[in-house]
Structure 1
Amino acid sequence: MSQEEFDIQNSVEGIWTKLGEWLDSIILGLPNFILAVLVFILFVLAAKYLGKLLDKLLRYKVRQASIREITIKILKVVVIAIGFFVALGLLNLNTILTSVLAGAGVVGLAVGLALQGTLNNTFSGILLSFLPELQIGDWIENNGFAGRVVEINLRSIVIREADNNYVVIPNSQVIDAPFKNFSRTSRSRITVSCGVAYNSDLELVKTITLNTISELFPQKKGEEVEFMYNEFGDSSINFVVRFWSAATNNRDILFARSSAIIAIKKVYDQHDINIPFPIRTLEFNNRLNIQKPSAEGDA
């Protein structure tokens, strides 16, 4: 019985001894821990300050906002990562850090295989950020959506459509699919289709149409208003007129086309030129024979 009491007493003393050693280690390592926390906080603040400084410098040399944003994000991540490693070094955790990095490599490979789609979007986002044909503020059409680009991040781009709703498109889809950018050129060619009656003076129609559009939309050097008849329709002779106008988004194109349609209709009315609507004529060759039924037939 005494032997059991002696063993229990030794065990309790061993526990207290170990706790004492841990407490001493904590007390001795507390200054380093506080220093490591302060160093890490300083690196976080430095990353924020350097990000603002880099943004000011890039504004004078890099006009593309997406490049500035992705560069600042990368700088902040690098500075914070350096601060994290320095803090671990102050805590004398270099050996643990090496083991963690080795394990992180294996885990990173597994995670990379599991998140291929996400990583594809990330690398696509980096490519889009440096792509001069796509910038924040541009009006684009992509994957059936049209709107102004308001954000380019590492996962997706965000566009705001004409109805003021936001659409989020994964970066990989933007890279893999064609997109149309209205904002890369200051002028666009507008096409208006119309038709006139078969009894119209086609030369007169062409002349007044060209004059009207040329006055409404002055053409610059190398531009011209084009008029072409293209088909004999069911009830009209159809044509297209093409002209250049200042347009950097779909709204400008719609307004230009609307103004052209109003002007064409007005000048056609002044010259009694008819824009026919589809007419369908029904002919009945058989005559209806209406006879009063006879008395025998009634019976």
Structure 2
Amino acid sequence: MNLDFPKSLDWAALVDLGIVYGIRIVGALAIFVFGKWIAKALTKVVRKAMEHAKVEATLVSFVGSFVYILLMVVVILAALNNLGVNTTSFVAVLGAAGLAVGLALQGTLSNVGAAVLLILFRPFKVGDFVEAGGTAGVVEEINMFSTIFKTGDNKIVIVPNSSVIGGNIVNYSAKQTRRVDWTFGIGYEDDLKMAKRTLEEIMKADERIHADPAPFVAVSELADSSVNFVCRAWVDTPDYWAVYFDTLEKVKLVFDEKGISIPYPQMDVHLDKEAA
């Protein structure tokens, strides 16, 4: 076997080639190092701007990470391009990979998008009592994929963000005050004016019930077995359930003291006996 080697090497050409590629490598490293520093600086600026605007911490972290990754992709492509690598194929591959990942994680990405909407528009915040996504409870946490609720019986319910944003959201804690509604019935034989006056006195005696707007009491219905009163009063939101249950108990006790009946559904049946 005969191997033909060049009898002499063009050392000058090799040196020139080494210098050219050496400069390219050094330039690529410089682009990467400087670009990484720029990416960190820009990400820090974006984070500070969002924090200054009092954006939710979850969204600040998400956007900051996304901006940094996007800038680093640009920096790496620029460094490869400086080395003489054709980056067009890399961009095509990244685009195809991104499309495939997006299709595979369509449901997950919809939750991420819903999280961004929840954080931007803020229909509720952590600590609010909310009814959404088929459940009701105190919001414990809002992350990028789900909203965590704690129910009244101390259960944790994890609801996907897409389910939360896709339906009606009822925020019971959004306002400082809420209106409490009751319906009380008395018998047709009872003193209607005394019953109405009694209900007004009960609500005026409770310091948790606001005087403005004043409590409202009125006859709402002449039902089959009772005369029904509708009662409405405004309270601070944290006092809602305490006032609701305390008033029910108070009305029953005071009605018993004054001899005002609270009738239950009944039916009178009259039989006609035919004479023999």
Query: When the two structures are superposed, what TM-score results if normalisation uses the length of structure 2?
Result: 0.72
Contact map agreement 1:195 1:276 (CA 8 A) in 2: yes
Q: Alpha-carbon deviation of 1:195? A: 0.4
The residue type paired with residue 93 of structure 2 is: G
Corresponding residue number in structure 2 for 1:166: 156
Q: Find the counterpart in structure 1 of residue 17 from structure 2.
A: none
What amino acid is aligned across from residue 164 of structure 1 in structure 2? N
2:216 to 226, 247, 250: 226
Mapping for residues 64-143 of structure 1, pairs under 5 Å: 67-83=56-72, 86=75, 95=85, 98-113=88-103, 115-143=105-133
- Determine whether 1:147 maps to 2:162: no
Percent identity of paired positions between Structure 1 and Structure 2: 30
Distance verdict in 2 for CA 1:193–1:148, change over 3 Å: same
* Distance (Å, rounded) in 1 between the aligned partners of 2:186 and 2:83: 85
Secondary structure class of the residue paired with 2:68: helix
Q: Whose helix proportion is higher, 1 or 2?
A: 1
Please give the root-mean-square deviation of Cα atoms over the aligned residues, in Å. 3.7
Partner of 2:241: 254
Spell out, residue by residue over 1:263-290, the C-alpha distance to the aligned partner (whole angstroms, 9 max, x if none).
Answer: 2122212221111223344555459x9x
Task: Choose which of 264, 283, 286 in structure 1 pairs with 2:251.
Answer: 264
Question: What is the count of residue pairs matched by the alignment?
Answer: 247
Gaps of 5+ in 1: 1-5, 10-27, 290-299
Question: Which ranges in structure 2 are unaligned for 5 or more consecutive residues?
Answer: 4-21
Superposed counterparts of 1:30-41, under 5 Å: none
Structure 1 CA distance for aligned equivalents of residues 193 and 117 of structure 2: 53
Alpha-carbon displacement from aligned partner over 1:80-135 (angstroms, at most 9, x marks no partner): 45446656766877737543332121333344355444333322221111113322
Per-residue CA deviation, residues 12-68 of structure 1 (Å, 9 max, x unaligned), is xxxxxxxxxxxxxxxx9xx99xx99x97xx98xx69x959x849x83x752x6xx22
Give the equivalent residue in structure 2 for 1:273.
260
Partners of 2:137 and 2:252 in 1: CA distance: 31
> 2 CA distance for matches of 1:232 and 1:93?
89
Secondary structure in 2 aligned to 1:188? strand
